[in-house]
A and B are shown apart, each in its own frame.
Chain A
């Protein structure tokens, strides 16, 4: 029942070089309350299947707006959320790296490495979705507050 929103393991190597040049965001910035618009956007991914390129571009633009940056180093690698497509779908991933692919995963179907470790958390009712960064996890509650793990 969850969906993976972003996947981008292949691009990890590219980040490394980028991250050194750009200054990393502090916790204060990263733990800022997320906007309602952003929450709606991520939660609405199930309903609007973003098959067309235009849809994807729009989605990315909105995400850049939320984070105030289009720099990949400061963006999450991906977002993991509960999937509401119905049984047997469990979670879906949204890959923010370059491909911006939404993949829906069924119960028991293994997730990519860095997503798998938050599968339990994402299924917990307290959290709307999880942003997965290279070095940290940010849990987003229904009201938009962020928790670092």
Chain B
């Protein structure tokens, strides 16, 4: 009953209502869609705002850092002026005094007066008493000279020594200069040499200092080397560098061995040992070139020496350094528009350049590899090489032995599937026989794969027989079809057999040519390798002939001194 009631009830109202709800829902959906779009826009705007805000913050930080740096720089400079202002004055005066002494146009009284005034103005600064020494020495006041010298040495022994060594050289006082040089060498620590040492070494080698200084240097250098070579660490470090240097010297064109390059699987190894063997002749001329040098470098060296002197006189003193460093950092911050990080990293690299100290052996190696980079000339390079000779020789021996040990015993070949190996290419006949056998076997195998088309022949026979039996005379057509199938399959078989033979014969001919070429190249390779390898002994002799005292330059005194020592 109840079901009947429902079935007859009028549902149209409900249907209408449902339709209305559906329409409403659609409207709501559209609204939600537009809200989503708006939301996306809003999000983008917000992101833009956030980005520009971050940018603003960053630039604000930079701006503030910049302002701060500018203020600080001003303050620090003032600080410097207050604390060390007179240092600047001393420096300016020192340059003036040196020029005055050089030209001899300043009166003794003026010199005495000004230098003594400087002494009062700049307590603790080594340059002040040094200037007093200079002034009193010029007017022959021994008493004051000695007192002032003691004071100067007390304040900064190293700088005073360097200062007087350079001044005495400029003034041509050989005896005094030698004394100072002796002191200078005592100051040097072979484990930790200053940057300017290479210039001094250079000056001595090129004969800018008087001849006797040469002997002094050789003696010192020998002592240092004895010290540094007491354990293996320093020498081993240099030896590794030399070995790497040797490895980079070989050059070799692959074009001479096009076939081996293509068909020898171990070509990379073959090439690498060849490349290293090729290094010997290049190195031989490299070393000979270092010693066949006739350029006179003494002029440039003199200029460099004067540069050291002027730096010594004009550079900041250790006391001022912390403040000067801060000023420099702030300057860099201003330069980088307030970017503190960039400024700090710039500062670090700058500092690294100035802090760079090397041990004597490393300095020699640097000068021997690239004299220009280390601020030396070829003369110093020759000296460096001759001093380093013992471990250059050891490194060369190791380098040679290493690649000799890695020489490939055999040259592997892989030509169109034919794999073989030969030691020196003298076994051409055997190789060709092996090659022939490989291709004969291959042909046999390939032919075996081409089975006789038995199935097609049987089908042909069956068709012919059946059609004859079933259809009698009319079956003759079937017989013909069967014969055609048999004939066709046999013919195809013959054709593919012929094709296989042709194909393999052609490949064999080509492969044989390549094999012959490879063997010829192998013979050449071994021959050329032996030739280059033998040059190791020539280079060894060249290296052995270098002795620590053997180096020459055009500079006037060097040669004589060497010959007499």
Q: Residues of A at under 8 Å CB distance from B?
A: 26-28, 31, 117-118, 120-121, 124, 126-127, 139, 145, 147-149
A120 and B404 form a contact (CB under 8 A): yes
A149 and B229 form a contact (CB under 8 A): no
B407 and A120 form a contact (CB under 8 A): yes
User: CA of A145 to CA of B536 in the docked complex: distance in angstroms?
Assistant: 15
A27 and B398 form a contact (CB under 8 A): no
Interface string of B373-411 (1 = CB under 8 A from A): 000000000000000000000100110111011010100
User: CA of A147 to CA of B397 in the docked complex: distance in angstroms?
Assistant: 6
Interface-central residue, B231, B398, B404, by most chain A CB under 10 Å: B404
Q: Residues of B at under 8 Å CB distance from A?
A: 229, 231-232, 235-236, 394, 397-398, 400-402, 404-405, 407, 409, 536-537
The 10 closest A-B pairs by CB, nearest first: A147-B397, A27-B232, A149-B401, A121-B405, A147-B401, A139-B401, A26-B232, A124-B404, A121-B404, A147-B398
Residues of A within 8 A of B400 (CB): 126, 147
Residues of B within 8 A of A149 (CB): 398, 401-402, 405
Given that A120-B407, A121-B404, A121-B405 are contacting pairs, would A126 and B232 also be in contact in the complex, using a CB cutoff of 8 Å? no
A28 and B401 form a contact (CB under 8 A): no
How far is the CB of B395 from the nearest CB of chain A, in Å?
A: 10
Given that A120-B404, A121-B404 are contacting pairs, would A126 and B537 also be in contact in the complex, using a CB cutoff of 8 Å? yes
A145 and B397 form a contact (CB under 8 A): yes
Residues of B within 8 A of A126 (CB): 400, 404, 536-537
B405 and A148 form a contact (CB under 8 A): no
User: CA of A6 to CA of B404 in the docked complex: distance in angstroms?
Assistant: 23
Given that A139-B401, A149-B402 are contacting pairs, would A28 and B409 also be in contact in the complex, using a CB cutoff of 8 Å? no
Residues of A within 8 A of B402 (CB): 149
Given that A27-B232, A126-B536 are contacting pairs, would A120 and B409 also be in contact in the complex, using a CB cutoff of 8 Å? yes
User: CA of A120 to CA of B423 in the docked complex: distance in angstroms?
Assistant: 12
User: CA of A88 to CA of B397 in the docked complex: distance in angstroms?
Assistant: 30
User: CA of A145 to CA of B396 in the docked complex: distance in angstroms?
Assistant: 13
Known contacts A127-B401, A139-B401; can you find 14 more A-B pairs with CB under 8 A?
A26-B232, A28-B229, A28-B232, A31-B394, A117-B405, A120-B407, A121-B404, A126-B400, A126-B404, A126-B536, A126-B537, A147-B397, A149-B398, A149-B402
Q: What are 23 A-B contacts defined by CB distance under 8 Å?
A: A26-B232, A27-B232, A117-B405, A118-B405, A120-B404, A120-B407, A120-B409, A121-B401, A121-B404, A121-B405, A126-B404, A126-B537, A127-B401, A139-B397, A139-B401, A147-B397, A147-B401, A148-B394, A148-B398, A149-B398, A149-B401, A149-B402, A149-B405
A27 and B409 form a contact (CB under 8 A): no
B398 and A26 form a contact (CB under 8 A): no
Interface-central residue, B394, B400, B401, B402, by most chain A CB under 10 Å: B401
How far is the CB of B406 from the nearest CB of chain A, in Å?
A: 8
Residues of A within 8 A of B231 (CB): 26
How far is the CB of B247 from the nearest CB of chain A, in Å?
A: 15
Residues of A within 8 A of B401 (CB): 121, 127, 139, 147, 149
Interface-central residue, A31, A145, A147, by most chain B CB under 10 Å: A147
Residues of B within 8 A of A124 (CB): 404
How far is the CB of A140 from the nearest CB of chain B, in Å?
A: 11
Residue of A nearest to B536 (CB): A126
Residues of A within 8 A of B229 (CB): 28
User: CA of A124 to CA of B405 in the docked complex: distance in angstroms?
Assistant: 9
Residue of A nearest to B402 (CB): A149
B235 and A27 form a contact (CB under 8 A): yes
Interface-central residue, A31, A117, A126, A148, by most chain B CB under 10 Å: A126
User: CA of A149 to CA of B394 in the docked complex: distance in angstroms?
Assistant: 10
Residues of B within 8 A of A120 (CB): 404-405, 407, 409
User: CA of A149 to CA of B236 in the docked complex: distance in angstroms?
Assistant: 12
Residue of A nearest to B399 (CB): A147
Residue of B nearest to A126 (CB): B537
User: CA of A121 to CA of B402 in the docked complex: distance in angstroms?
Assistant: 9
User: CA of A127 to CA of B536 in the docked complex: distance in angstroms?
Assistant: 13
Interface-central residue, B397, B400, B402, by most chain A CB under 10 Å: B397
Residues of B within 8 A of A121 (CB): 401, 404-405
User: CA of A145 to CA of B229 in the docked complex: distance in angstroms?
Assistant: 18
Residues of A within 8 A of B235 (CB): 27
User: CA of A126 to CA of B537 in the docked complex: distance in angstroms?
Assistant: 8
User: CA of A145 to CA of B397 in the docked complex: distance in angstroms?
Assistant: 10
User: CA of A148 to CA of B398 in the docked complex: distance in angstroms?
Assistant: 6
A27 and B397 form a contact (CB under 8 A): no
Residues of A within 8 A of B407 (CB): 120
Residue of B nearest to A26 (CB): B232
Residues of A within 8 A of B404 (CB): 120-121, 124, 126
User: CA of A101 to CA of B497 in the docked complex: distance in angstroms?
Assistant: 63
Residue of A nearest to B235 (CB): A27
How far is the CB of A31 from the nearest CB of chain B, in Å?
A: 7
Interface-central residue, B231, B235, B394, B402, by most chain A CB under 10 Å: B394
User: CA of A30 to CA of B235 in the docked complex: distance in angstroms?
Assistant: 14
B536 and A147 form a contact (CB under 8 A): no
User: CA of A147 to CA of B236 in the docked complex: distance in angstroms?
Assistant: 13
